[in-house]
Amino acid sequence: MTFKLTRNIDKLGTAGIFLTAILSPCCFPLFAFAASALGLGSAELFGGWTMWIFQGMVLISVIGLYISFRRHGCPHPLLVAILSGLVIFYAYYFNESDYWTYFLYAGMFGLLVATIWNFKRNKMHGTCDTCTTYNGKTVELQSTITCPNCGHIKDEMMATDSCMFFYDCENCKTRLKPKQGDCCVFCSYGTVKCPPIQAGENCC
């Protein structure tokens, strides 16, 4: 769950940016038609918090793109996102002309481009250092096992060609086995389930 959330932070942030704009047609007239289609009229759903929420989503999007950069190593989506974020903050805090909203929209669509670019890079290079391709799908190989007997925690790497039915806790020496209905110890006690389950298949 944590892994899926981490690799989608930029998408959540960018989606939040546009959702905030759609739900705040007075602050973002360009999106007023979408608000009208949703039956919101000219109401400001977030009231005085609109721009604070909007700026928070911008930061979340940039942070998500930075996390992705740490994984796939391609700086271009991150650079586009940083530039777009700076354009947004410039428009809001420093541009006093009648055209400041155009800078705002340019920054928003720049973040959208960066997010799409980042998505394609993730597909090309995988989403993390401990990921691999299993039957055509990207899966996480690292799982953190917590011993139910003593609470000892340890990161372990999962194999893709076999399932681990028994696991000996290095702290209390308890031999763990899967809970009823689970195929392996990672599915029962790990933070990430085994590769076949991640790929939507039956466990080995």
Report the predicted TM-score, pTM, of the whole model to 2 decimal places: 0.52
Q: How far is it, in rounded angstroms, from Cα 113 to Cα 121?
A: 12
Residues comprising the chain, all counted: 204
Tens-digit pLDDT profile for residues 62-108: 988 888 787 667 789 999 999 999 999 998 888 888 888 889 889 98
Share of the chain above pLDDT 90, in %: 30
Helix (H) or strand (E) holding 51: helix 50-72
Q: What is the mean pLDDT of residues 156-169?
A: 91
- In terms of pLDDT, which residue wins out, 172 or 122? 172
148, 176 Cβ separation under 8 angstroms: yes
Which amino acid, 164? M
Closest CA to 19 of 81, 108, 116, 88: 108
Cα–Cα–Cα angle for 59, 81, 110, nearest 5°? 110
Which pLDDT does position 72 carry in this prediction?
A: 67
Q: How confident is the model at residue 31 (pLDDT cuts 50, 70, 90)?
A: low
Please say if the pLDDT value at position 195 is more than 80: yes
Question: By three-state DSSP, how is residue 148 classified?
Answer: coil
Share of the chain above pLDDT 70, in %: 76
Exposure string over 1-19, b if 16+ CB within 10 A, otherwise e: eebeeebbbbbebbbbbbb
